[in-house]
Amino acid sequence: MAKGYKNAGVDIDSGDQFVEEIADIVAKTRRSEVIADVGGFAGLFALRKYKNPVLVSSTDGVGTKVMLANQFKKWEGIGVDCVAMCVNDIGCFGAEPLFFLDYLASAKLNRPVLKEVVFGMAKACKEVGCALLGGETAEMPGVYPPGEFDCAGFTVGVVEKEEIIDGKTIEAGDIILGVASSGFHSNGYSLIRKIIETEKINLQMHCAETDLNLAETLLLPTKLYTPLIQALKKKITLKGIAHITGGGLIENPPRVLPKGTRLELKMGSWPVPEYMEFFRRKGNLDEDEFHRVFNAGIGLVLIVAAKDTEATLQAVHNFGEKAWCIGAINSD
């Protein structure tokens, strides 16, 4: 079947088989609102139980971190990364993720590799209560180099209108809390790879903080903050939340601030992982570039009233995460 297309580099039968192989993996993320199985033209999801729902959506990819995953043949974390980058973004509005769709593109479909990626996606979706509703797998010979692939995703969540966290109540005197990242997450990997190449970094070197080698540390998946955010919402008034992705601590937190306010971080108030400092030194990065490219050990920023500082820190710690008071909001 379709021999001409196969000779051109696209194997339709292999794609169909891939969908069959991942069906059971995807089924484990099913929510009661899902009313169609994977394989149709679109995913169907019935919105229920909300009084005044506002849909919140985000799309993102994993970037060149996939090249390190290919180099060390560890792909499950890439799937987690893809989900986390999307659901963490909508979590900044207090939204519960409902469903996720993926896009996997490569020169040639490598089913075992992409199956591991999808397994990681399903694992992440299960952790945050999100259905892996569907996706697209594309073979694009000539666009991607042999052996390489791209991984992107899209999520839709929901939040009650009156519960939206939009930063509008942030004012001078509020406190900035930083929640620990699990590593570099999925940003800055083009620079990381350049430093590795230029400085001939030994990726087998041991990282004391993670008790892993450097390669394994670099491939740690992005932390999923949805469960923490949903738990905090029930106890604390969260005035603003920022997911620290591209742009780092310099560009992301200001995105949630109202006019007339500014953020003042207190450098040195949290422990920057030594392996991140290692790349700062090897890359000869000044403080501004370092904090713009990397998360510097802070994956999520919470802004709360000063009176709620200790209660929030305690709640985060009780949830099993690390957090620090890293600054305050001042008048502009």
Q: What is the CATH number of the domain that holds 29?
A: 3.30.1330.10
Tell whether 109 and 257 lie within a shared domain. no
Statement to judge: residues 99 and 223 lie in one domain: no
Q: Do 190 and 131 share a structural domain? A: no
Inside any domain, residue 42: yes
The predicted model scores a pTM of 0.92
One domain for residues 154 and 180: no
Whether 60 and 95 share a structural domain? yes
Query: Looking at 107, 133, 163, which one is the last position of a domain?
Result: 163
* pLDDT value at residue 9: 62
pLDDT of 131 reads: 95
Residues 145 and 201 in one domain: no
Same domain, 69 and 120: yes
Identify the pLDDT of residue 331. 94
Domain-located, residue 142: yes
pLDDT score of 160: 96
Q: Which residues of 184-211 are buried (b: 16+ CB within 10 A; e: fewer)?
A: bbbbbbebbbebbeeeebeeeeebeebe
Range of the domain at 98: 3-163
One domain, residues 233 and 137: no
- Are 285 and 307 contained in the same domain? yes
Q: List C-alpha distances in Å: 208 to 205, 231, 316, 330.
A: 10, 31, 24, 37
Please tell me the predicted confidence (pLDDT) of residue 7.
60
Say whether both 17 and 72 belong to one domain: yes
- One-letter amino acid at 16 equals D
In a domain, 169, yes or no: no
Last residue of a domain, one of 163, 191, 217: 163
Q: From CA 118, how far away is CA 298, in angstroms rounded?
A: 27
Give the per-residue pLDDT at 35.
86
All residue ranges of the chain with pLDDT < 50 are: none
Question: How many domains, in total, are found in the chain?
Answer: 2
Do 221 and 96 fall into the same domain? no
pLDDT at res. 90: 98
Encoded tokens for 118: 């999808």
